[in-house]
A and B are shown apart, each in its own frame.
Chain A
Amino acid sequence: MATQAAFMPGAQAKEHGVLWSWLTTVDHKRIGILYGVSAFTFFLIGGIEALIMRLQLARPDNTVVSAQTFNELFTMHGTTMVFLAIMPMSAAFFNYMIPLMIGARDVAFPRLNALSYWIFILGGLFLNLSWLVGMAPDGGWFGYANLSSAQFSPTHSIDFWMLGLQILGISSMLAGFNFIVTIVNMRAPGMTLMRMPVFIWMSFVTQFLIVLAFPAITVALILLMFDRFFGTLFYVPSAGGDPLLWQHLFWIFGHPEVYILILPAMGIVSEVLPTFARKPLFGAPVVIYSGIMIGFFGFGVWSHHMFSVGMGPVADSAFSIATMLIAVPTGVKILNWISTLWGGSIRFTSALYFSLGFIAMFTMGGLSGVMHASPPVDLQQTDTYFVVAHFHYVLFGGSIFGLFSGAYYWWPKITGRLLDERLGKLHFWLMLIGFNVTFFPQHFLGLIGMPRRIYTYAPDLNWNFWNLISTVGAFIIALSFVVFIANVIKTMRSGRVAGPDPWDARTSEWTIPSPPPVYNFARVPMIHERDDFWAEKHGSGHGAAPRPTPSPVTAAEIAAIHMPPPSYWPLILAFGLLMMLSGLLVSMVQVVVGGLWTLYAMYRFAIEYHRPPAGHAH
């Protein structure tokens, strides 16, 4: 057991302290928790930014914040929610759940996984550091050229945004490749692609979207960096550059990004519904193919963000049709989810509430999306509050409801304790009501002409009433998260102990203890079908012979499990990278020092395990 103890996080904590064990961890579960806690913290920051904006807009000609501050708030709210809240919340589930659901002991590259996290958290802190130095980005989360040029944005505010996004992009790319390799290579025996849980499938598609979409924004940001620091003129129209080049590059990234945000939530819902309806996902192959189709079409629709720039009728028609096509697989998914419930025996848990909320709200976001898929209609709706309402129905009503469904669903697996169901349902109802009170009136506001990104408005436009209602709703949402936090605090110590399978669930993560041991599976499972654990418990319904009861796991078996030891190089490498990129704001000396630091850390990272570490028996 001594050998095994060397890899147990608990044991390391005794040797080096708890903090050190977290800083050097390469355990996908701990990294998942780090992602989750960080993302939720950023989510609260982004939420506070939203509340301040809603206070400012509660009344016409209001003066809660200045124009400059408001512009910073909406820029940082969008950037934070997309890159620092929803994406890493999904990443938390990728990290924690992918190995557990494919029957693996860790991801393919555990240290790379740690590196992704450290780059992400340092990038997120760097972006928010801009508040403290009074230079928060103010160009919008979409950072349109040529407003972002040195001429029109001379301070470092845009630089913080540009470099922050670049850093976060590196993190996402590393994680994307890591999960692709993990899913391709590390599935348990018997888990064919079509036997993979649908959450794994949606995650898999998401990773491809990440590794294919992020290069586009990387290129866009590099051109911007050259424009701003080295005097190139890629986006400067007066010198023959083209600000629309930025829009194309940004949206070739930006639209797949929407699916990067929603597909993981769709995956979660596809796990939660079957568990609580006690039925398999209806038409699982169709749901999977639909997810792939959505990912594929997602790369062919970027210009629907640009119907108003004047691309001409042919391009408008092509992008309009492509956009409408995406509604087909999306609609199919919704009907499949409802059919999953149909004929089931539905247990109404908090996790299921949030999944039902997802279906109901995402449907509305999808339908309003069909409206501005039509370019003439879009010419009235784009850049108004109608679009703000639409994408909050997709990203809040969709992604956030889905992710919190996942949080309630997997919480007992991760912590070993169940969240309080009554508080969970209170959270749900407050969030659902608050969400609709906030965002439904914004459809009206958009239709009666309220543009986005305005810090103030005149009192005689009939916008006052709905803006006030919307502000009230935002505070109801805030209250719902107070309930969630209270629930977490209350149940952390005194919550009911979950046991390995509190929901009578269907997939392999529920076969192991909660929380799982560091090696996840004492014995790598053999997978016979998609809902393998359910079949094991209740029979597959295919008339297969009952499986033989496995022999008990021996201590020797556990002692023979090889797990990667901790490493501090990911953290050191991430610091070097941050130092190099942030050096652009300070001095070239820092860039060079950071660059050398990064190179050295990469070298040490690479050769770390050429010799087996001391005390390592395998």
Chain B
Amino acid sequence: MEGVINDGKGSGLSTPYSGITGTYAAPDPTTGRFTHTTTLNGVTAHHVGYLVSSSQFLELSTDALASDTSVLVGAAQLQSGSLSLTTGSNLVYYATGTESAELGLINVTGSTSYTANYYEDVSGKPESPQTRLVPTPSMLMAGWRPAAQLAPCI
């Protein structure tokens, strides 16, 4: 399994990790509730999940909040079909940050490139609309590998 998480080491930057392992208990056949545990880099986290269907569940962390333990809520989705972007397609993305939110339109321009026009609100103030080109010229000069940006996960 591969994962990308915020490392919480002060930089605030996300870092890719691999090697997450875990166990899970059999879901309750009536409620769909189950517990599961994951371990990464020697840190073990506990979660509770609720099956929505055979391909989706919602989950919540159950460890007490601490300086090195987060309280998280999320969803897991079974992967299916081709894990790729279709050249020429238009996508919408939307995301929430610590004190901000952003949404945008992506036009997939090639197998390893896209253009995004996005709109961001930071603490109640709109930023000017911006355009993102991927890969950027600096990425190309640095020998950027697109697989690292579009990696599928389990």
Verify that A and B bind, or say they do not. no
Interface, chain A (partner B; CB < 8 A): none
